[in-house]
Structure 1
Amino acid sequence: MLRRHLWKLILSATLVLWAVFTLMPLKDQPFGDYVKASAAAKPAEFAKLMGEVSTRVQSRRAPSVYVALKQLGQEQNLDLSQFFPQIKLESSMTNIEKRNNLLLDELLRLSKGKLQLGLDLKGGVAFTLEADPKVMNAESEQSRGQKLSKAVEIIGGRINSLGVTEPIIRPIGDNRIEIQLPGVSTKDNPEMATTLVRPARLDFRMVHATIAPPAEAPPGYDRLTLVQESRPGMPGYTEELYVKTRPEMTGEGIADSYPTMDEFGRFRIILKFTSAGSKQFADVTRAIAEEGQRTGRRARLAIVLDGKLYSAPGVEKEISGGSAEISGSFTRLEAQDLSTVLNNPLDLPLQIKEQYEVGPSLATDAISSGVRATIIGTAAVAAFMITFYATGGLVAVASLVVNITIILGVMASIGATMTLPGLAGIVLTIGMAVDANILIFERMREEIALGKNLVSANQGGFTKALTTILDAHLVQLIICGIMIWKGQGPIKGFGFTLLIGVISTLISVLITGHMLMEMLTESGWLKKMTMRRMLGDLNVDFVKLGKPCAYASVALVIISFGYVLFQGDKIYGIDFAGGDQVTATFTTKIDSAKIREIAQSSGAGEVNPTYVSDLGSGKEQLKLETAYGKSGTLFTALQQAYPGAGLVKVGTSQIGATIGKEIKWNAVLAVGLSMLAILVYIAFRFEFGFGVGAMAATLHDILMNIGIFVMFGHQFSAPMVAAILCVAGYSINETVVVFDRIREELKLDPAGKLRDVINNAIRKVFARTIMTATTTFLAALALFIFGGGQLHDIAFTFLVGIVTSTFSAIFIAAQIFYLWHKGDRKHVEAHQDIAPKYEWAGSSRASE
């Protein structure tokens, strides 16, 4: 028995151990402490160096240990890698400054906790960028807005390529942009802000073939210096060249760029041209080659980025392959940064006006309540499973532990940022994960009722539930993929979390959980499995009830969604609509939770309070974000409620939406594509009538959620869009279970009427549907009761979605399927295709 299950045991254990290892360390370690602990050579010299570092930081000559080490390395021409022989650097890299940069970046990475927290839980760093007033004043108001929006889009692309997830990027006023990055510190990475505002002008210029410094510069040429890193066995060198001032070609024809390594381990950047750019580059290189042939000298093409000469390769003939490369003495980060800015060229000059640290947007008690709600929700689901399924419930809890561990491990490995909405997504995944266990257990109950022993019942229940589980989760994977593809910011982050959760659930339930059940039953240790029921058998005509229930539900959808349309832009929160931002000084800090309470009681509505510290002076200020026109009301109310806080308004500005029109459209497009994906997949796996029913039920649940959400006074934020898309995934999960049973009943009862088949199918899954809805409802209810702020809104969406999804699977999806086929079984059989089978769907004991 053990031999047959050995691969499952090894796979499960390997995944768990890998996830635990990946999560370590759980928290960031102070960089100075980590460096001291990691130095493995020349302890006396390093101790003396760290003494100088400490003095420099204390005297504020350097903002951090990281910067102080970098400064001392430059000033003393000191190779810091001699103290860290365990960190291998490229031996051919002789430039000490670059070696130190690589070393310090690697040490900084190793000192960080593997699972990074978002702005709401941990805070981060923020920059305020200002457009060149001369450029902006010369433009019309409409053009200024377009340029600023384009700059926001470009900077968003650059940040995404840096691996920072769920940033906040928004316009402020008509000439500024604010960027907030979670888990980043400019004290340790001061060049990041510079990378974001680089214009990235790439020129291809001709090098003068016959004249070079120190000779006098010919007219129309600039004197540029080329620094070439050494190769193995060869020294590095510096070369001065006269390069034509006017470029032969700019980087506008570049379609893509990415970093790679050459045969010597040096980084370079590969450029891919558009079709027009490829033709132009061929023309330029042909002209340069012909010039070389005419003069009898080596013809060279200078590659200049933002005025700096990076390489000057020789050109002997026309280059028509549609690509080129930039070689030079790049570090890995430099090559990555260059390719990033080349892919997102910024034509609006921007200056860094402010750099400051941002405290968590949620108060400490709100973070604690969110974590507490997560723990309570998980415990409630575990208690429910153990109460109703005893040993089977313990197995489900064990697979749930494996599930959560894998989810967190994968998130840490890909650098995902954990936010409170992401935590809510994991709780929803927990509720949905036990759904698969309940499917198997309820199928086992039916097998036992037929007189089978526990071993056969376990195997039969797993086999019969398998295709249902796969269908439900595959549709959810498609929806997650659409969220990642078309979503941005929190929507994309939510999609990644759920995608990981869906895959992890399949592994933990179908491999780990099933292995444990097989080992328990086949060993004889488990001879009887207790399975309690919430509901007995029901003799209800669901088809008869379906029509009035569907009419009533559709009427509620129309009324609630009509209310949404009536409210117009009032339904949008600050994420979507923008608002006012008040900056204030204070003498006594006011808790963020208290500020939110004052905002609600004063009628100011939504508020996002954050405490920020200027990186230069360390001076702390309070920033309050409110809806348009509400900042004055809130600030006055705070001054009245806390007269001793010493609140003084420094300034007020308007902030743009973090969710722009493009992201709104992509969210709508994501919903539409999800509906189409549901129709196509269900039609392929089942039959077109099933696909229509599933799509209609999911659309019903989405519209119902939106309507009820707004009717209860909530406003839309980016996480709410993601939460509603999650409801779509949950809805299809419930519908697939019902449809799979209808399909099975059609085969088991070949002579039954369609009405009877549908009723029998729903009766058999009704108890299971209520139980799975209850487990997920318990998880969401804990978030709703014990969580606060945004977590409260997300949980509200989940609660409504669970109820509507359960209702629609029974009374909407099945009813539409019945009406689509005109209540006639022959109509179903005339249009039904044979569903494809999974080749590996059989049990591991199929041959026994």
Structure 2
Amino acid sequence: MTSSLLALQIVSDPLVLFLSGLSLLILFIWYFATESDRRKRNIGSILVLGLCTLCILALIPPSKTLQGGIDIVGGSAFTLRVQPNVDPDTNEVIPLTDRDMDNAIETIQKRLDSAGTGDLSIAKSGDDTIILQMPGMEPEAAEEIREILQKVAKLELREVNPQSQMLAKQVYDGEEVIPGFKAYKHEGVNREGDPFTEYLLLNNRTAIDGADIADAWPQTQGTDHQVGIKLTGAGGEKMTNLTKDMTAGSDRIAVLLDDVVITAPVVQTTPLGKNFVIQGQDSFEEAGTLASQLLNPLENALVIDEERTVSPSLGEAVVKQGITSAAIGLAITAVFILIYYRTAGLIALTALAVNSVLIFGAMAMFGFTFTLPGIAGIILTIGMAVDANVLIYERLREELSSGKSLKTAIDTAYEKAFSAIFDSNTTSLLTAVILFWKASSTVAGFAVTLTVGLLGSMFSAILVTRVLFRWALDTGALKNLSLLNIFRSTNWDFLGKRKAAFALSTLLFLAAVGGFAWKQKDALGVDFTGGSILTFTFPQDSKGVRQAEAEKALQDLDTESKPIIQEENVPNSGELLTIRCSTADTTRIEDTLRSAFPVLQERTPTLDRDTGKDTGKTNYVVDASTDTVSATAGSAFLINSSIALGLGLIAILIYISIRFEFSFALGAFVAVVHDVVLAVGLVVLFGGELSLIHVGAILTIAGYSINDTIIVFDRIRESLLTERGNIKDLMNQAINATLSRTLLTSLTTITTVAILAIFGGAALRDFSTMILVGLVVGTYSSIFVAAPVVLWWSRGKGRNLRREVLDASLAGETAANT
């Protein structure tokens, strides 16, 4: 057995995973329970090595264990909404049940398996939504899959009223009402090949339905392609009861498929038995598809709310952009940490490497899928891990400056930094969980990696670096520590500038709100308004189609709305041509552009993904990817996203109120709302459009804003508890004390995100730009908005802020001792 197979078997065994997880949990609890430094060091070492070993085993081999979403490997994805049925007698809607959803998922699985679609992932989301993903599917197959999904294939046989010829037209036009019967329009072609139209009056009661079908198969009689039907025993009895009293040669039975009459033959013999045929299929393949659908009928209709088809070349370009920008940003951050913190920086980078192993290992172990937003989430969480290390090291600098020994200074720095790290990461976790629970599946990957990354960053920053420091001290490898200090102690009167800051914030707030009000619907992207985005991906060595050329080619095309065309040159990845248009126009726009430009007509042989052999089929050299959202789904996404944002802000307010006093909670809440509104409004004001991925960006901004604000508040609370003096002066002192940390972490994170925005391509640019604006605004608000609101509120209510902090601290100590 190879090492990769052995590793795969170990991590896939539920018992092994359970026992390993239980052992690591016991070690984790033991680590924090023990008082012995030597024991902490040894337990921590075993814990780190155990987790890393488990994660590395889960990653072997990476090509099989790391699953890429369709935006990375290419493929198709559909968001399907299951429709409730209507009672034919009362016209009342029948509520969906869990059984309805399970039946729909099972039917989709069987249909697509019979169509040979290969790997697919089907998951239920909410009460009426199904998420279907098919990585690796070629764009040309999406149309066929769409038809397979939307075909209910609900077969019904109904009795035709003998007076149909006289009454059906009047009933159809609404001139007559016949209780128990409904009129249908039947269009077809007679034996001579001439089209005809007739009206039929059918019994409302279905005599035989899809549940009565035992078998269905395609067959050909001469030039007529048919579907042979064999009924079950119960179905045969129903057919006998239906036809036994009919008059051969005159009475008729109508066959309906999805409530459309496809044939209405005259009964030639009575009674009929188990077998009959459905005629009128255009080809043997069409008859075969219908037979498969009849064997797997949907009991509830499906509506496609969202459809994404990503070409492999676009996915490859996106991954290259993301990895390149991430590597550049993280390399710059790593070099800065090494230069600024030296030996301590080396320890921090080792912890970051462990953090990366934990993130990727957890993603592989639990089968989470990597998506483009997920990659952005990983980059951001690594930035937050750097933030935690900077916070500890800046505390360490202060303790060393006060004359403490290296060991005492390290212990004190970790002890004082713990609460700020815990609180800031917990608020970010709250927003990530709410995002995963309430927002669309498009950003679920971001929420997953953000959650995994936050847990990993807390572990690496608090435990891994501490263990490494303990080993360095105990072995004598670290006897002194030298830290660069660019941002030296300051004594600026930040709170004295609060009126000017409030005036600036009010002006920016009004501009942001005004920009959104001015643009209104134009501020919302396809995700919220409905529509399609068509993207052509040109290879790096080929000449793309210019925006002006595409606009000229489409100028005479009659479209529902004017298409919006953009071109983009992506470094090291080629060129992109993106067209935003109405969903109804997507196919015609693609066909028109392909007809107009030879570069879009070139085709290449398709190779089998497993064997590499020619399949005999060809695909376009320049792929076309589509992202389609219905207007109904867009509205639902907007509502759910707004709820997610609202719940995130409320959760932050509640948590800060519990951990701090209400004055601090109010200051944090105002700062978060300030940052979110400004980030959204300014991006929109300067031409951006809001999409679903921006929901993740907004909650990330909220988390970062709270992160920074909590660290300032934690220092203010510490100053109020330990020092005497004017409250305003103490708050200024706390802001100055945390200023170096604020500037350092903001600059490193801003650098990483800025590079992501510059080199990440269109797919990551909008997301990164909003976070970039939010980081700048958040750094400003933690100093000039949050703390001034705390001071203003406490003074306005006539409260003594120091007394509130002392009382809360005393209450906490009393609760801990009882």
Q: Which TM bucket (shorter chain)?
A: 0.5 to 0.7
Deviation at 1:827, TM superposition (A): 2.4
Q: Check conservation: 1:537, 1:763, Cα contact below 8 A.
A: yes
Q: Kindly indicate whether residue 13 of structure 2 is the aligned counterpart of residue 13 of structure 1.
A: no
- Equivalent position SS for 2:761: coil
Distance in 1 (CA, whole Å) between partners of 2:752 and 2:641 is 26
Classify 1:380/1:600 alpha carbon distance in 2 versus 1 (closer, same or farther; 3 Å).
Answer: farther
> In the TM superposition, what whole-angstrom CA distance separates every residue of 1:526-572 from its partner, at most 9, and x where no partner exists?
11212112322222111011221122022112112211121011112
Distance in 1 (CA, whole Å) between partners of 2:788 and 2:107 is 49
Distance in 1 (CA, whole Å) between partners of 2:739 and 2:103 is 51
- Which residue in the other structure is 2:192 paired with? none
Distance in 2 (CA, whole Å) between partners of 1:540 and 1:495 is 38
> In the TM superposition, what whole-angstrom CA distance separates every residue of 1:177-201 from its partner, at most 9, and x where no partner exists?
996533679999xx99999779799
Distance in 2 (CA, whole Å) between partners of 1:467 and 1:500 is 20
Task: Indicate which of 102, 122, 125 corresponds to 2:73.
Answer: 122
Classify 1:777/1:199 alpha carbon distance in 2 versus 1 (closer, same or farther; 3 Å).
Answer: same
Distance in 1 (CA, whole Å) between partners of 2:357 and 2:743 is 28
Deviation at 1:579, TM superposition (A): 2.2
- Which residue in the other structure is 2:16 paired with? none
Structure 2 residue identity aligned to 1:685:
R
Distance in 2 (CA, whole Å) between partners of 1:462 and 1:723 is 30
Task: Indicate which of 364, 372, 377 corresponds to 1:420.
Answer: 372
Structure 2 residue identity aligned to 1:598:
Q
Classify 1:722/1:183 alpha carbon distance in 2 versus 1 (closer, same or farther; 3 Å).
Answer: farther
- Which residue in the other structure is 2:172 paired with? none
Distance in 1 (CA, whole Å) between partners of 2:80 and 2:701 is 38
Distance in 2 (CA, whole Å) between partners of 1:362 and 1:461 is 47
Q: Kindly indicate whether residue 135 of structure 2 is the aligned counterpart of residue 182 of structure 1.
A: yes
- Which residue in the other structure is 1:407 paired with? 359
- Which residue in the other structure is 1:786 paired with? 759
- Which residue in the other structure is 2:193 paired with? none
Q: Check conservation: 2:671, 2:705, Cα contact below 8 A.
A: yes
- Which residue in the other structure is 2:783 paired with? 810
Q: Kindly indicate whether residue 669 of structure 2 is the aligned counterpart of residue 695 of structure 1.
A: yes
Classify 1:192/1:415 alpha carbon distance in 2 versus 1 (closer, same or farther; 3 Å).
Answer: farther
Computing the radius of gyration over CA atoms, which structure comes out larger, 1 or 2? Answer: 2
Q: Check conservation: 1:374, 1:427, Cα contact below 8 A.
A: yes
* Aligned positions of 1:337-352 closer than 5 A: 347-349=299-301
**Identity rate of aligned residues, in percent?**
33
Structure 2 residue identity aligned to 1:710:
V
Deviation at 1:807, TM superposition (A): 0.6
Classify 1:377/1:589 alpha carbon distance in 2 versus 1 (closer, same or farther; 3 Å).
Answer: closer
Q: Check conservation: 2:676, 2:702, Cα contact below 8 A.
A: yes
- Which residue in the other structure is 1:254 paired with? none
Task: Indicate which of 627, 641, 645 corresponds to 2:581.
Answer: 627
- Which residue in the other structure is 1:706 paired with? 680
Q: Kindly indicate whether residue 647 of structure 2 is the aligned counterpart of residue 678 of structure 1.
A: no
Deviation at 1:4, TM superposition (A): 3.9
- Equivalent position SS for 1:660: helix
Deviation at 1:376, TM superposition (A): 1.2
Deviation at 1:356, TM superposition (A): 12
Deviation at 1:673, TM superposition (A): 1.3
> In the TM superposition, what whole-angstrom CA distance separates every residue of 1:8-28 from its partner, at most 9, and x where no partner exists?
11111111111111122211x
Q: Check conservation: 1:753, 1:824, Cα contact below 8 A.
A: no
Structure 2 residue identity aligned to 1:820:
W
- Which residue in the other structure is 2:547 paired with? 598
Classify 1:556/1:127 alpha carbon distance in 2 versus 1 (closer, same or farther; 3 Å).
Answer: closer
Classify 1:712/1:128 alpha carbon distance in 2 versus 1 (closer, same or farther; 3 Å).
Answer: closer
Deviation at 1:381, TM superposition (A): 1.4
Distance in 1 (CA, whole Å) between partners of 2:542 and 2:671 is 38
Deviation at 1:351, TM superposition (A): 11
Classify 1:666/1:596 alpha carbon distance in 2 versus 1 (closer, same or farther; 3 Å).
Answer: farther
- Which residue in the other structure is 1:766 paired with? 739
Distance in 2 (CA, whole Å) between partners of 1:774 and 1:593 is 38
* Aligned positions of 1:221-370 closer than 5 A: 347-349=299-301, 359-360=311-312, 362=314, 364-370=316-322
Distance in 2 (CA, whole Å) between partners of 1:761 and 1:596 is 57
Q: Check conservation: 1:362, 1:592, Cα contact below 8 A.
A: no
Distance in 1 (CA, whole Å) between partners of 2:424 and 2:79 is 45
Deviation at 1:669, TM superposition (A): 1.1
TM-score by length of 1: 0.60
Distance in 2 (CA, whole Å) between partners of 1:542 and 1:116 is 49
- Equivalent position SS for 1:822: helix
- Which residue in the other structure is 1:834 paired with? 808
Distance in 2 (CA, whole Å) between partners of 1:812 and 1:560 is 17
> In the TM superposition, what whole-angstrom CA distance separates every residue of 1:501-534 from its partner, at most 9, and x where no partner exists?
1111111111111110122123321112121123
Classify 1:446/1:356 alpha carbon distance in 2 versus 1 (closer, same or farther; 3 Å).
Answer: closer
Distance in 2 (CA, whole Å) between partners of 1:414 and 1:580 is 33
Distance in 1 (CA, whole Å) between partners of 2:47 and 2:591 is 60
Classify 1:521/1:563 alpha carbon distance in 2 versus 1 (closer, same or farther; 3 Å).
Answer: same
Q: Check conservation: 1:697, 1:731, Cα contact below 8 A.
A: yes
Deviation at 1:645, TM superposition (A): 3.5
- Equivalent position SS for 1:482: helix
- Which residue in the other structure is 1:668 paired with? 642
Deviation at 1:576, TM superposition (A): 2.1
Distance in 1 (CA, whole Å) between partners of 2:146 and 2:588 is 34
Distance in 2 (CA, whole Å) between partners of 1:547 and 1:356 is 49
- Equivalent position SS for 2:680: helix
Q: Could you tell which deviates more after superposition, 11-20 or 728-737?
A: 11-20
Classify 1:731/1:165 alpha carbon distance in 2 versus 1 (closer, same or farther; 3 Å).
Answer: farther
Q: Check conservation: 2:440, 2:692, Cα contact below 8 A.
A: no
Deviation at 1:463, TM superposition (A): 0.5
Q: Check conservation: 1:363, 1:593, Cα contact below 8 A.
A: no
- Which residue in the other structure is 1:468 paired with? 420
Aligned residue pairs, count: 591
Distance in 2 (CA, whole Å) between partners of 1:755 and 1:520 is 41
Distance in 2 (CA, whole Å) between partners of 1:596 and 1:523 is 64
* Aligned positions of 1:296-695 closer than 5 A: 347-349=299-301, 359-360=311-312, 362=314, 364-580=316-532, 598=547, 605=564, 626-628=580-582, 642-646=597-601, 656=630, 660-695=634-669
- Which residue in the other structure is 2:728 paired with? 755
- Which residue in the other structure is 1:619 paired with? none
Structure 1 residues not aligned, in runs of 5+: 28-112, 172-176, 202-218, 226-239, 247-340, 610-621, 842-848
Deviation at 1:412, TM superposition (A): 1.7
Distance in 2 (CA, whole Å) between partners of 1:653 and 1:780 is 25
- Equivalent position SS for 2:729: helix
- Which residue in the other structure is 2:708 paired with? 734
Deviation at 1:413, TM superposition (A): 2.1
- Equivalent position SS for 1:626: strand
- Equivalent position SS for 2:312: coil
Structure 2 residue identity aligned to 1:660:
G
- Which residue in the other structure is 1:715 paired with? 689
What is the Cα-based RMSD across aligned positions, in Å?
Answer: 5.2
Distance in 2 (CA, whole Å) between partners of 1:689 and 1:631 is 53
Classify 1:644/1:773 alpha carbon distance in 2 versus 1 (closer, same or farther; 3 Å).
Answer: closer
- Equivalent position SS for 2:404: coil
Q: Check conservation: 1:581, 1:655, Cα contact below 8 A.
A: no
Distance in 2 (CA, whole Å) between partners of 1:178 and 1:492 is 12
TM-score by length of 2: 0.62
Distance in 2 (CA, whole Å) between partners of 1:452 and 1:466 is 19
Deviation at 1:492, TM superposition (A): 2.4
- Equivalent position SS for 1:429: helix
Classify 1:126/1:452 alpha carbon distance in 2 versus 1 (closer, same or farther; 3 Å).
Answer: closer
Q: Check conservation: 1:468, 1:736, Cα contact below 8 A.
A: yes
Distance in 1 (CA, whole Å) between partners of 2:517 and 2:106 is 33
- Equivalent position SS for 1:790: helix
Distance in 2 (CA, whole Å) between partners of 1:153 and 1:667 is 26
